[in-house]
């Protein structure tokens, strides 16, 4: 008699218990344990903090916000590139019981306005500018439309120094009183992720979600206080603030900020100068680092481990990271913002093929299953279906959007990711596609409808459809198929990009444009984006990029 195939289900049995602390309590516990061990290094300025010094700065930030009238549950926005102050706000709001709202540094005015209004941010901490973005001017432009916003504090201004000085002079017992009123299940963070409405949705995460996910990612990398983690990925993503910062502070390891934004040379310089043992990045970051003309001149001998995640990880890139960067224990993580973010991770003891060609197995204390998207039933192993996960990591829901929450969280609290996956007989998973129409460009999630709705504002465009096409550097690039209004002049890709620049975040601006009279349609009238992608791959000569194997 033939044995029936195992179902595509796995659970992360673990002898290591979940943490029950709030984020602030865990930081204090670590500082008490490791003493004057180095906690944070900011390479751009040379500033350094031990764990006790970091706690002092975090407490000052918390008490300074308290003096501004920030109460438990209030939303505090942080709009800045990677810097030490970002870390102070992250942990300071957590100690205060406020909900930190991550604002993407690449956002333009219409995106900023939406996030400020949708989350009800009352206090915004912002950098004055970053790259080509004048944050002061953008805040001035949208402020009148954001009635909840009552305070804006720009880093480096006298207001920021006054906030910190006020906090340093305040009574620490007041913060202790506030912390006693906090639960690990309280919301602590809102992160905006692309949504089917064309606007991002605010995934609402708790202390318990984020702290445990960071902790168990760190466990997967074998972190101790001897580790020094280079974090070039942005803090506004779970990858930076969760897997990076919380992964470090929950183990007493050192956070190393190589630069405000990603720079491959500065990243490798930080690894060499600070003797980092771990390096994070999305695949495009590792590709850029490996591609530096003077790559061989950097002393990367301290590297042991690290994480590649954020978008599909090309197998050959993983192998080069192991061979040429010495990251023999590098891991791949898979997840999404709504799950804090990691659901699966490869192990340091997995063989090279598993570690470079899969996204690993289910994380500790979590469940995963692969289901038929039509019936909802769990499929046999080896069969593709929708990846679902359940456990401590799953968000509370989308901020103030119960209907959108119900679309992805079923009554049994399974998070339906929209990703297509296959589980093998040993429980290892491969991500093979997406049900939902999301494009992941260099680790940034882009929902085509948002870009399409913006393109409709162009006076010459009658209809636009946006797809992702394969790209060897970014994983995917955006392409717009455009139908022009009668009598309109032909539209070049350069002209369309110029129209988008300054209004859309740079990663949402289409690289390719194709002018068409109509779109391929199904018999029921739906646009066939799969066919559009196939045609585009051929016309653009992207066959080699499409053939890249990913985990």
Tell me which of 387, 420, 453 is where a domain ends. 420
Percent of residues, the chain, with pLDDT higher than 90:
81
Is 447 in the same domain as 509?
A: yes
Residues 358-389: tens digit of each pLDDT: 999 999 999 999 999 889 999 999 998 999 99
Look up the CATH number of the domain holding residue 502: 3.30.300.30
Confidence class for position 549, pLDDT limits 50, 70, 90? confident
Residues 341-351: tens digit of each pLDDT: 999 999 988 99
Is 65 in the same domain as 197?
A: yes
Is 181 in the same domain as 246?
A: yes
Q: Supply 205's token pair.
A: 């995460």
Is 365 in the same domain as 502?
A: no
Is 352 in the same domain as 463?
A: no
How high is the pLDDT of residue 161?
Answer: 98
Tell me which of 365, 388, 420 is where a domain ends. 420
The conformation of residue 44, written as its DSSP 8-state character, comes to T
Number of domains in the chain: 2
Residue 148 lies in a domain: yes
Residue 521 pLDDT > 90: no
Residue 70 lies in a domain: yes
46-60, 213-227, 476-490: the lowest-pLDDT one:
476-490
Residue 14 lies in a domain: no
| Cα 454 from Cα 431, distance rounded (Å) | 30
Q: Supply 234's token pair.
A: 């942005």
Residue 409 pLDDT > 60: yes
Domain of residue 454 covers 439-546
Is 358 in the same domain as 300?
A: yes
Mean pLDDT in residue range 18-46: 98
The conformation of residue 380, written as its DSSP 8-state character, comes to B
Residue 354 lies in a domain: yes
Nearest residue to 324 (alpha-carbon basis) of 269, 351, 361, 287: 287
Is 468 in the same domain as 396?
A: no
49-58, 301-310, 404-413, 514-523: the lowest-pLDDT one:
514-523
The pTM for the full model equals: 0.86
Residue 35 lies in a domain: yes
- Looking at the DSSP bridge assignments, the partners of residue 228 are 254
Residue 7 lies in a domain: no
Is 284 in the same domain as 370?
A: yes
Residue 6 lies in a domain: no
Long-range contacts of 19-22 (CB under 8 A, 24+ apart): 19/184, 19/208, 19/211, 19/212, 19/215, 19/250, 20/184, 20/208, 21/184, 21/207, 21/211, 22/94, 22/95, 22/179, 22/182, 22/183, 22/184, 22/186, 22/188, 22/207, 22/211
Tell me which of 369, 387, 420 is where a domain ends. 420
Is 526 in the same domain as 458?
A: yes
Is 64 in the same domain as 136?
A: yes
The conformation of residue 241, written as its DSSP 8-state character, comes to I
Residue 1 lies in a domain: no
Strand segments (E) across 472-516: 475-484, 512-515
Backbone angles phi, psi at 533, to 5 degrees: -65, -45
Residue 528 pLDDT > 90: no
For residues 153 and 126, is the Cβ–Cβ distance under 8 A?
yes
Burial class (CB in 10 A: 0-12, 13-18, 19+), 11: middle
Residues 135-162: tens digit of each pLDDT: 999 999 999 999 999 999 999 999 999 9
Q: What is the mean pLDDT of the chain?
A: 94
Residues 236-295: tens digit of each pLDDT: 999 999 999 999 999 999 999 999 999 999 999 999 999 999 999 988 899 899 999 999
Q: Specify the DSSP element, H or E, that contains 160.
A: helix 158-169
How high is the pLDDT of residue 196?
Answer: 39
- Give Cβ neighbours of residue 340 (< 8 Å, ≥ 6 apart): 205, 209, 210, 212, 213, 238, 242, 393, 394, 395
Mean pLDDT in residue range 201-224: 98
Is 58 in the same domain as 167?
A: yes
Is 99 in the same domain as 72?
A: yes
């Amino acid at each position: 008699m033939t044995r029936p195939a195992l179902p595509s289900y796995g659970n992360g049995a673990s002898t290591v218990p979940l943490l029950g602390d709030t984020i602030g309590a865990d930081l204090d516990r670590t500082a008490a344990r490791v003493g004057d061990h180095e906690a944070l290094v900011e390479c751009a300025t040379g500033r350094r903090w031990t764990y006790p010094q970091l706690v002092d700065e975090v407490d000052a930030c918390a008490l300074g916000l308290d003096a501004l009238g920030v109460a438990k549950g209030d939303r505090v926005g942080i709009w800045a590139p990677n810097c030490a102050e970002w870390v102070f706000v992250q942990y300071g709001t957590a100690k205060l019981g406020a909900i930190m709202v991550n604002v993407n540094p690449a956002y333009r005015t219409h995106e900023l306005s939406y996030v400020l209004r949708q989350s009800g941010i009352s206090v915004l901490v912002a950098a004055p500018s970053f790259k080509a973005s004048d944050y002061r001017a953008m805040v001035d432009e949208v402020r009148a439309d954001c009635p909840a916003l009552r305070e804006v504090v720009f880093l480096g201004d006298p207001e920021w120094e006054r906030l910190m000085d006020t906090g340093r002079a305040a009574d620490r017992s007041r913060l202790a009183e506030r912390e006693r009123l906090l639960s690990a299940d309280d919301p602590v963070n809102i992160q905006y992720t692309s949504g089917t409405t064309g606007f991002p949705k605010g995934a609402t995460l708790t202390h318990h979600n984020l702290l445990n996910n960071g902790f168990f990612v760190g466990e997967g990398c074998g972190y101790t206080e001897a580790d020094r983690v280079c974090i070039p990925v942005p803090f506004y993503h779970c990858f930076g603030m969760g897997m990076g910062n919380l992964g470090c502070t929950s183990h007493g390891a050192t956070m190393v900020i190589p630069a405000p934004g990603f720079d491959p040379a500065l990243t490798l310089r930080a690894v060499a100068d600070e003797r980092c043992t771990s390096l994070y990045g999305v695949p495009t970051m590792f590709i850029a680092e490996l591609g530096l003309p003077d790559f061989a001149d950097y002393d990367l001998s301290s590297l042991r481990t690290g994480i590649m995640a954020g978008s599909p990880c090309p197998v050959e890139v993983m192998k080069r990271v192991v061979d040429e960067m010495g990251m023999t224990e590098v891991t791949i993580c898979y997840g999404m913002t709504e799950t804090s973010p990691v659901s699966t991770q490869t192990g340091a003891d997995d063989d090279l093929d598993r570690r470079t060609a899969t996204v690993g197995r289910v994380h500790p204390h979590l469940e995963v299953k692969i289901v038929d998207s039509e019936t909802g039933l769990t499929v046999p192993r080896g069969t593709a279906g929708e990846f679902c996960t359940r456990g401590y990591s799953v968000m509370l829901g989308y901020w103030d959007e119960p209907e959108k929450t119900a679309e992805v969280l079923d009554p049994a609290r399974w998070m339906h990711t929209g990703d297509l996956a296959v589980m093998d007989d040993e429980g290892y998973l491969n991500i093979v596609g997406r049900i939902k129409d999301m494009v992941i460009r260099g680790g940034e999630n882009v929902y085509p409808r948002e870009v399409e709705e913006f393109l409709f504002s162009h006076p010459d465009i009658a209809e636009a459809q946006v797809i992702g096409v394969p790209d060897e550097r970014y994983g995917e690039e955006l392409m717009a198929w455009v139908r022009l209004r009668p009598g309109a002049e032909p539209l070049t890709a350069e002209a369309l990009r110029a129209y988008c620049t300054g209004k859309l975040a740079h990663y949402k601006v289409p690289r390719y444009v194709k002018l068409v009279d109509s779109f391929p349609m199904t018999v029921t009238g739906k646009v066939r984006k799969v066919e559009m992608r196939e045609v585009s791959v051929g016309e653009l000569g992207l066959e080699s990029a499409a053939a890249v194997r990913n985990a």
